[in-house]
Structure 1
């Protein structure tokens, strides 16, 4: 029997970049979150391309290829609500495009619109002729239903049926991390690295899992390799900066190097709550608590709809005993 070529796809991560974005989840909630998108390349002249594609789909509304390009670009730029609308339009015109359905479902998941994501996955499921893809989609549905243990079983079946596909191992590892099963997650991420030794996503996830299990030496090797591959990447720099803060490398010449890294991280992600928290931590470790608090206070004033900013600010106030302000 000829094996089906259909499979859940994963971007060519070894050549990709992590791109930080500030995303407004919905106009009604106005909630803003920082997300890190994994893109195969940085998109230059993004706004011009958006205008060109928008004009094209208005002129030729029945087409779907340019509309899909527009949807992808809206996703990459952080305009997720508009991206969802365009992906829906593409699926209406080409319902057999299972990868577009999976992309839309995942986007709805990230936006917290889980019931909508489940509907999209349910529609994609009967379109799949690949057993592993079917198990993977069922796993995504169980994640949306807040049944992580069931999701693990589905992703394990997918990985067992198609062990050469890193997407299944990645999904499995992520759910295991959510369940605090760092050892199991690490085994899944190792499978990706056996297939693609320079997969930056697997390297970073492995680093996080290794920290969780206390294997700091191996974790350092993974982070160092990620730095060799993408030295100026936000996700990599953020982890190295967090490491330098844990090691309290904030004074003297080491402190100067850490400060340079603080500036680099903030330049890459000026809207990121994580980046500002690391800057605040740098000053706290230097004994400048007032400056640390001021950094996070300013962030909440500039981005009042970002819940992570408030979380970091609250923890900072709690650390210095400002209980009334915490409340």
Structure 2
């Protein structure tokens, strides 16, 4: 019983888009008519059968011959022989010689009712793989898996929503909106899909429509803190600051311990000139973050608020705290440099701007600020 193992690189095989694989010749070569048992990550804890297949053709080639077959190289998913050679040397630890034999295996996937071994829920398996790939940021691969899973049930709300999320991650917002609309045609009371549609509309440059979708989500569930948070963000993008602040405050009534919302509230208050109140929000965000570990962005934002208030020594402390957590962030170095300039500590400020230019040599702002410091020495 020949067994094949596939991983993330073999998504086309798992979804059925491709029905050919190239493997080093086994001691007992595969032959036409053999039954293949194909698994995901054979040696890992995630081992799971993905399909059974029947071998319909086998071609045996030397490694030297294989490297000359552009048709097979492209079909296997490599751009050229150099890439195939590099990847195969990684796959096969032992040395590959010119006369090392490989088998080009072509097969047809068998319907589950014809399997000899244990049956699986193929849709659930592919969905699980899609979710793993999505969570690890491999959006092109997860997109193929969601498409493959939807072939089993085109009306699956979860899959339509996840496909929409996936397309949004790829920047394909119009296509994502179509997926959300399909899901909402089936389940118009799904608050989560309405919220995701709102975010896709916002990212596609239509905040007014985004607000309408967000409002629809809140009509379904007025106490969903995630939807309220994003509605606050959308209102902020529309310049409706009072309404946005009310949305953030409502979120905090529901989820007082959320540092992201306190940060967002602080940013909004800072934007409308309420710096003292913004500082209180940043302090609360930091307090919550520091219960677990430091948040460099929160320290930087607090520093910015203190800078606006003219509390330069305190701002400097915040920037130092941010840099202790993220020492190569040129924005933090630049902000520290500005605080030092305000304190007339120009020599130290020059060092900060030099650090910015080491990290980002094309940073014109740092160059101008450095020159200004040098003029004041």
**Equivalence for 1:278:** 335
Q: Deviations over 1:131-166 (max 9, x none)?
A: 544543442343243111121122123213310112
Change (3 A) 1:226 1:150: same
**Equivalence for 1:299:** 359
Q: Deviations over 1:169-204 (max 9, x none)?
A: 122111122223222211111121121122222211
Give the C-alpha shift of residue 73 in structure 1.
Answer: 4.1
5+ residue gaps, structure 2, are 1-40, 51-121, 373-377
CA distance in 1, matches of 2:333, 2:165: 28
Matching residue within 195, 219, 232 for 2:278: 219
**Equivalence for 1:240:** 302
SS in structure 1 opposite 2:326?
A: helix
State the Cα RMSD in Å: 3.7
CA distance in 2, matches of 1:209, 1:100: 35
Give the C-alpha shift of residue 108 in structure 1.
Answer: 4.3
CA distance in 2, matches of 1:265, 1:282: 19
Between structures 1 and 2, the one with greater helix share: 1
**Equivalence for 2:29:** none
CA distance in 2, matches of 1:204, 1:74: 26
Q: Which has the larger radius of gyration?
A: 2
Question: Contact (CA 8 Å) 2:180, 2:194: kept in 1 or not?
Answer: no
Question: Contact (CA 8 Å) 1:283, 1:291: kept in 2 or not?
Answer: no
Moved more, 183-192 or 213-222: 213-222
Matching residue within 65, 83, 86 for 2:142: 86
* 2:265 is equivalent to residue 203 of structure 1: no
**Equivalence for 1:306:** none
Give the C-alpha shift of residue 89 in structure 1.
Answer: 0.8
Q: Deviations over 1:274-311 (max 9, x none)?
A: 4344344345444245334322322225xxxxxxxx6x
Question: Contact (CA 8 Å) 2:173, 2:203: kept in 1 or not?
Answer: yes
**Equivalence for 1:155:** 214
CA distance in 2, matches of 1:299, 1:212: 28
Between structures 1 and 2, the one with greater strand share: 2
5+ residue gaps, structure 1, are 1-51, 76-81, 302-309, 323-327
Higher relative contact order (CA 8 A, sep 6+): 1
Q: Where in structure 2 are the equivalents of 1:170-185 lying within 5 Å?
A: 170-185=229-244
CA distance in 1, matches of 2:175, 2:259: 30
Q: Deviations over 1:98-131 (max 9, x none)?
A: 4565455445445533344334434433343425
Matching residue within 131, 136, 139 for 1:74: 136
Moved more, 61-70 or 196-205: 61-70
Query: What TM-score comes out, normalization by structure 2 length?
Result: 0.55
Give the C-alpha shift of residue 206 in structure 1.
Answer: 1.2
* 2:320 is equivalent to residue 260 of structure 1: yes
Query: What TM-score comes out, normalization by structure 1 length?
Result: 0.62
Matching residue within 364, 370, 373 for 1:314: 364
Question: Contact (CA 8 Å) 2:161, 2:193: kept in 1 or not?
Answer: no
Change (3 A) 1:236 1:210: same
Question: Contact (CA 8 Å) 1:170, 1:188: kept in 2 or not?
Answer: yes
Query: Number of aligned pairs?
Result: 251
